Amino acid sequence: MQMKRFQGPLERVNDYCWRIPKSYKPGMRVDGLIYANEQLIERICEDPAPEQVANVAFLPGVQMASLAMPDIHWGYGFPIGGVCATDPLQGGVISPGGVGYDINCGVRLVRTNLSANDVQPQIELLIQQLFDNVPTGVGRGGKYKFSPQQLRALMESGPRGLISRGLATARDIDFTEGQGCLQDADPECVSPRALQRGYDQCGSLGAGNHFMEVQVVDQVFDQAAADVMGIKPGMVCVMIHSGSRGLGYQVCDDALRSLRGVPAAYGIELPDRQLVCAPVESPAGSEYLGAMRAAANFAWCNRQLLMWQAREVFESVFARSWQELDMQLVYDVAHNIAKPEDHLIDGKSKRVWVHRKGATRAFPPHHPDLPTDYASIGQPVLIPGDMGRASWVLVGQQGSMEKTFGSACHGAGRVLSRHAAVRLSKGRHIDEELRQQGVVAKARSRKGLAEEQPDAYKDVDLVVDVVDKANLAKKVAKLRPLGVIKG
Amino acid sequence: MFTIFPHTADAGLRVEAEDVETLFADAGRGLFSLLVSNVDDVQPNVRREITVDGDDLEYLFFDWLSELLFIFEDQHLLFSQFDVSLQKGGLRGVASGEQIDRDRHRLEHEIKAITYHDLKVKRTDQGWIAEVIVDI
């Protein structure tokens, strides 16, 4: 299949929202709604992503609408940037494709008390040290090796289990979404193959769009919220983007295989095999959920260990302990996950399974799931942009609860295929170009860097603007990159 | 013969061959060309035998590629030569290659998984065609 422009109907709801009516395809149970402005929607329709929004509307038990965030792009099955909620009491399903292969891929932000002036003279050394010490790239494992038994324990506890090993603090756990642990994880549902793929990968970055980036706070838009998070202009931060590595990929792969016959057994008709699903309340559904939760907890351990290694490198480069450098976790968010959450639907509170495939939870102030310190400001929403321009910190707003099951965007969203990005970089040196812009970039693969160049992504400012104007999340701070390591 | 076709976030692999065995073998090579840019330099020193059960050609194709990907990740083996025979009830394949040597092999993409999205294996007037999107 080639990249085909979306030809279906699209109705303007308002300046920031577009509807694909459920009359578009027989089988759609609800409308599709895409959050975007006029400029972005034009781009979004250039590939089949809106078709995928319509396809998700086929899922049994789907509530309100199949949603897409402004960073939506063509995925496999679900669009990247897709959100949907299903009600188990109405035959609602769980779909592994709605979580993705990289279960609990997500982002964390760590602050420091260093200024750009402190770091700039050392930036080459710092990035080199991060590159040498943090495992990156295809098939690379890390320095932490866990036996199957230890892995199983971590998959049940999440990073809390790393405290006793001196690799996490209680504060780190408090500032991780859901304290870094999905309840009822069942490591017994994780296959030996997944354990084999994961045993040496906890604490490794991986490749593709994963990264560890040293950034500086460029601009603050909400002083009060920034104060609560302890960030201010000129401050250096570290942003980490990774997920559950081979373990999570294998859990998803195993589930898609074992669910092959399930939709037919329950009389569920789907327009795409990648949307394969099982009723939440079914043996097949429970088995996937047990394994998915375990992989999600593994991913939080992975990001915890990546942060720990970043702390160690900063300690060695700046000759101070990480506590002296105030390298505290601002927050950690998942953007590929499914969770049971309470939402008001048609005036009734319902416990639904919210699938976020390339979308970030964005709970508003005073939501019970927030850390106490953030109760007054709302949940931090961390939006990596691209390695040349910017990344953002936002906080969740009430509008997200009313419109998007408490969700916002997760990034800038790709605009060029990897193929097109490589073609565009022919005869250029992306690392040199970035250096000219003041960003030191180190990657194992030259092609990988070309594929991830800034031009491959939408302008994150436009994406964030839509989320802000639609009242899903509010701008707090804009960060710009100083240096990045990639696979 | 294989080609890589564009997909926004991931990569598409299209394979065309005269017979279905060559189709599967060339798909293996296409997969490894995404993992390592100089797949021609991978020496066929180590052999792994792979069997996949099933009758549905598309699922067999998917499972064959998934199996190769798993061996790559688990045993750190790169493959460059493939020999496949299809029988009733499944396939038997032999993949030949060598251990990853980061000085000689230019590793490029991390493939998270083979996906079912738009997966097809079809007979054409000229022979066979297969398309698959891999998650990167």
pLDDT digits (tens, 9 = 90+) for A368-426: 999 999 999 999 999 999 999 999 999 999 999 999 999 999 999 888 888 889 999 98
Collect all residues with Cβ–Cβ distance below 8 Å to A431 and sequence separation of at least 6. A441, A442, A443, A449
Lowest mean pLDDT among A14-18, A156-160, A235-239, A446-450: A446-450
Query: Are B28 and B36 a contacting pair, CB within 8 Å?
Result: no
Mean pLDDT of A2-31: 94
Which residue in chain A is spatially nearest to B73 when comparing CA positions? A139
List of residues 6+ apart from A110 with CB closer than 8 A: A237, A238, A239, A240, A307, A310, A311, A327, A328, A329, A330
Let me know if A410 is a catalytic residue: yes
Tens digit of pLDDT for each residue in B59-103? 999 999 999 999 999 899 999 999 999 999 999 999 999 999 989
Q: Which residue of A has its CA nearest to B9?
A: A417
Question: If pLDDT is split at 50, 70 and 90, which confidence band does A2 have?
Answer: low
Mapped onto helix, strand or coil, the DSSP state of residue B92 is strand
The SS3 of residue A467 is helix
CB contact under 8 A, A138 and B108: yes
Task: Judge: B110–A3 Cβ closer than 8 Å, yes or no.
Answer: no
- Six token digits for residue A306: 């990546």
Burial of A479 (0-12, 13-18, 19+ CB in 10 A): buried
Catalytic option among A73, A241, A410, A419? A410
pLDDT in tens, A18-28: 999 999 999 99
Q: Measure CB to CB from residue A2 to each of B5, B73, B135 and give the nearest one.
A: B5
Distances (CA, A) of B13 to A2, A100, A458, B117, B127: 11, 20, 25, 12, 17
- CA B11 to CA A72: how far, in whole Å? 17
For B65, the closest chain A residue by CA position comes to A253
Q: Is the pLDDT of residue A198 over 90?
A: no
Q: What is the mean pLDDT of residues A325-354?
A: 97
∠ CA A399-A401-A402, rounded to 5° = 65
Closest Cα in chain A to B7: A417
| C-alpha dist (Å) from residue A438 to A393, A430, A460 | 21, 12, 19
What pLDDT sits at residue A406? 98
Is A74–B7 a contact, with Cβ atoms under 8 angstroms apart? yes
Q: Residue A3's pLDDT is what?
A: 67
Structure tokens at B103: 């000085």
Confirm or reject contact between B74 and chain A (CB < 8 A).
yes
Query: Closest Cα partner for A3 from B136, B42, B117, B2?
Result: B117
- The verdict on a CB contact (< 8 Å) between B109 and A448 is yes
Residue reference for tokens 């560890």? A212
Give the residue among A457, A468, A325 at the shortest CA–CA distance from A393: A468
- Work out the percent of chain A whose per-residue pLDDT is above 90: 90
Task: Using a pLDDT cut of 90, give the percent of chain B over it.
Answer: 87
- Asked whether the whole model's pTM tops 0.80, one would answer yes
Query: Residue A139's pLDDT is what?
Result: 66
Chain A with chain B: Cβ pairs closer than 8 A: 112
Q: Are A216 and A482 in contact (CB under 8 A)?
A: yes
> How confident is the model over A297-325, as a mean pLDDT?
98
| Identity at A131, one-letter amino acid code | F
CB contact under 8 A, A138 and B59: no
Q: What are the phi and psi torsion angles at A257 (to 5°)? A: -75, -45
What is the reported pLDDT for B108? 86
Kindly report, residue by residue over A289-301, the tens digit of the pLDDT.
999 999 999 999 9
Tell me, yes or no, if B56 comes closer than 8 A to chain A by beta carbon.
no
Binary contact (A74, B8; C-beta < 8 A): yes
Substitution target in B117, B121, B134, B135 with the highest count of A β-carbons within 10 Å is B117
CB-based contact, B71 to chain A, within 8 Å? no
Closest CA to A216 of A239, A240, A238, A236: A236
Q: What is the DSSP string of A217-283?
A: EEEES-HHHHHHHT--TTEEEEEEEE--HHHHHHHHHHHHHHTTTHHHHTT---S-GGG--EESSSH
Label residue A444 by pLDDT band (50, 70, 90): confident
Q: Answer yes or no: do B109 and A207 touch at CB < 8 A.
A: yes
Closest CA to A190 of A149, A220, A159: A149
Tell me whether B53 touches chain A (CB under 8 Å). Answer: no
Instruction: Examine the pLDDT at A1 and tell me if it is beyond 60.
Output: no
